[in-house]
Structure 1
Amino acid sequence: MNTMLMKKLAPFIFGLFSLMVFSQSKTILSSEIRWKAYKTLKTESLSHFGTVNLKEGNLIFKGNDLAGGSFVMDMKTIDAADMNEDPKMKKMLENHLKSDDFFDTNKFPTASFQIKSVKKINSNGYNYQVAGPLTVKGISKNISFPVKVFQSNAVYTLTSAQFTFNRKNYGLKYNIFEDMLISNEVEINVTVKAQ
């Protein structure tokens, strides 16, 4: 290989080597993803809440600093925990959420979020601002929210601030009359542990 070509390739090779040496992918050990949605009148008595399971994911670190990550959620596991006292209504609501009125889990069994950018912050106990595409029903929109990341022994814990997404941006719409009674904003809280 001639010297000129080596000089041109050197920065690329060094960058790739640095990425391989200094970036470490940590596998998700456990997770809790909580959701909450309201009727148009935003009161606790007119809300539903529950969880959805993480199918797979990772966090990427450079040294001890968060640098990226990805999460795939199993939308078939969406749970309406507020209805636990009424199993029949709980099942009806969960089936409704999985239907093509909302998440259409037969066609779109997963949703995902990728951390594409990370900015260090110091705000209300949160030390990073993460941003990237949230993909639901095949539709991707960029979102951003603060997270707190800390390490204990070899385990990293990431906890998000509560953030929201607009369901209509992802085609989560019901019939026009019922849809008018549902708030557009869905609240999300995420905690994951990785090693």
Structure 2
Amino acid sequence: MKKFALLIFGVFSIALFSQSKTILSSEIRWKAYKTLRAESLSHFGTVNLKSGTLIFNGDDLAGGSFVMDMKSIDAADMNEDPKMKKMLENHLKSDDFFDTNKFPTASFQIKSLKKINSNGYNYQVTGPLTIKGISKNISFPVKVSQSNAVYTLTSAQFTFNRKNYGLKYNIFEDMLIINDVEMNVTIKAK
């Protein structure tokens, strides 16, 4: 009974002191490579954040969740060739990859975190990344800073294996693409 009372007190304490911060702006960048990991054989761009929250307990990050609008995927490396840019973006949105008609969003939820002090990053966040209805845990370092009541979360570059989420093309073309997709995320909240 005593443990149960302590658990209830702990839950109420977290709920009482935790504050949800509204996202002001975000930048989610992606990069993928063909078989040879060369800049000339890469594609990169952005995807928009549809919604999200950061949760703080005082000035300490306590959690958060983010929903990405996969229909907004942009191939910025192709800006000089609008026709090829549109072709690549449509290909990424097709059922060959993200299937945005069926799965218009992807999400990430912070399920656990720990404080670290490594290369300027102060938290290690862990949680499920969900793409095409498939959830797999990922973990990466983030830096959280605060200025004028605005909190900024900046991730280190992290990767996910596209095949774990069913992001694969026909067998011959698929062999020409590296499995890891690189990501960088910056989120400002108040």
**TM-score after normalising by structure 2:** 0.97
Of 108, 118, 121, 1:123 maps to: 118
CA–CA separation in structure 2 for the residues paired with 1:124 and 1:16 = 33
1:66 is aligned, of 61, 66, 69, to: 61
Tell me the distance in 2 between the aligned counterparts of 1:16 and 1:115: 17
**Cα deviation, residue 16, structure 1:** 3.3
1:8 CA displacement: 7.8
Larger Rg: 1
Q: Does 1:143 align with 2:138?
A: yes
When the two chains are superposed, the root-mean-square deviation of aligned CA atoms in Å is 1.2
Of the three residues 94, 108, 119, the one matched with 2:103 is 108
Corresponding residue to 2:75 among 76, 80, 83: 80
Shift of 1:158: 0.3
Partners in 2 of 1:8 and 1:66 — Cα distance? Answer: 26
The SS at the match of 1:21 is helix
How is 1:1-195 mapped onto 2 (pairs within 5 angstroms)? 10-195=5-190
2:168 aligned counterpart, secondary structure: coil
Comparing 11-20 and 134-143, the one that deviates more: 11-20
> The residue matched to 2:178 in structure 1 has which SS?
strand
Give the Cα–Cα distance (whole angstroms) in 1 for the partners of residues 167 and 4 of structure 2: 48
Q: Which runs of 5+ in 1 are unaligned?
A: none
Flag as ranges the 4+ runs of structure 1 deviating above 4 A: none
**In percent, how many aligned pairs have the same letter?**
87
Distance 2:103 2:111 in 1: 22
1:125-179 deviation per Cα after TM superposition (whole angstroms, max 9, x unaligned): 0000000000000000000000000000110000000000000000000000000
Between the aligned partners of 1:8 and 1:184, the Cα distance in structure 2 is 46
SS where residue 115 of structure 2 aligns? strand
* Cα displacement string for residues 76-131 of structure 1 (whole angstroms, at most 9, x for unaligned residues): 00000000000000000000000000000000000000000111000000000000
For residues 9 and 188 of structure 1, the distance between their equivalents in structure 2, rounded to whole angstroms, comes to: 41
Q: Give TM-score, length-normalised by structure 1.
A: 0.94
TM-fit CA distance, 1:19: 1.8
